[in-house]
Structure 1
Amino acid sequence: MAYVETLPEDVVKRKVMELLRKFMGKNMTIPEPTGMIRSTWYSNPYTRGTYTFDNLLVHEYPNARAILGEPLVDEAGSPKVLFAGEATDLTHFSTVHGASDSGYREAMRILPSSKI
């Protein structure tokens, strides 16, 4: 991951397309991408390439994911800082699905208090 983040975009695109075409076989026509978005999680000073996983102590802390996803609230109990991400999802942790679900969860948490 760290190495890929240092490569120019055209090199990453070319290598990804080589792998995709190799995987899909010679009988598939795969068009060149029109754009590319890649993460820089490893070089991001706040994440440094992190991800979540269960270890042997997970059973000792059964509420850890729920606690991690609890918002910080003000004196009135209104959420001010919300936490989303696959690490906070109770069912689909360590997955893109969990990250997406947790974002939806937090959006639903703040919608009732929004002025939209």
Structure 2
Amino acid sequence: MQVETLPEEVVKRKSVELLQKFLGANVTLPEPTGMLRSTWFSNPYIRGSYSYDSVSSMKYPNSRADLGKPLLDSAGTPKVLFAGEATDLTQFSTVHGASESGYREAMRILSS
């Protein structure tokens, strides 16, 4: 959260300091030439949210699969596809799940 509000130079410097501390003094690290960081928490449409199982999730064992089902046209062709960590059956609440669901939907598009 807080790292999103810090200037880029501060984040780069602190990241190198942390890596240096972890790797030890006998390792020389180059200065970063650039940086990419998430704005997941400050994004007004996300605000750091993620999916999780609630106490009633057991009542709906197919809910994640249902969320990932595409909307089909009258010929049965997928027209609107859904990806995201909430639609992954095993890796929900993770970046890995979000990536995997994107690949899943890309493969669905390629096969249709």
Q: TM-score, normalised by structure 2?
A: 0.83
Distance 1:35 1:21 in 2: 18
Matched with 1:64 is 63
> Counterpart of 2:104 in structure 1: which amino acid?
R
> Counterpart of 2:102 in structure 1: which amino acid?
G
1:28-107 matches, within 5 Å, as 28-107=27-106
Aligned length, in residue pairs = 112
TM superposition shift of 1:103: 0.9
TM superposition shift of 1:34: 2.3
Which segment is superposed worse, 102-111 or 48-57? Answer: 48-57
Over the aligned positions, Cα root-mean-square deviation in angstroms equals 1.8
Runs of 4+ in 1 over 4 A off after TM superposition: none
Distance 2:59 2:84 in 1: 22
Distance 1:44 1:32 in 2: 28
Distance 1:24 1:53 in 2: 35
The reply on whether 1:110 has 2:109 as its aligned counterpart is yes
> Counterpart of 2:73 in structure 1: which amino acid?
D
Identity %: 73
> Counterpart of 1:48 in structure 2: which amino acid?
R
Matched with 1:17 is 16
Q: TM-score, normalised by structure 1?
A: 0.81
Gaps of 5+ in 2: none
> Counterpart of 2:74 in structure 1: which amino acid?
E
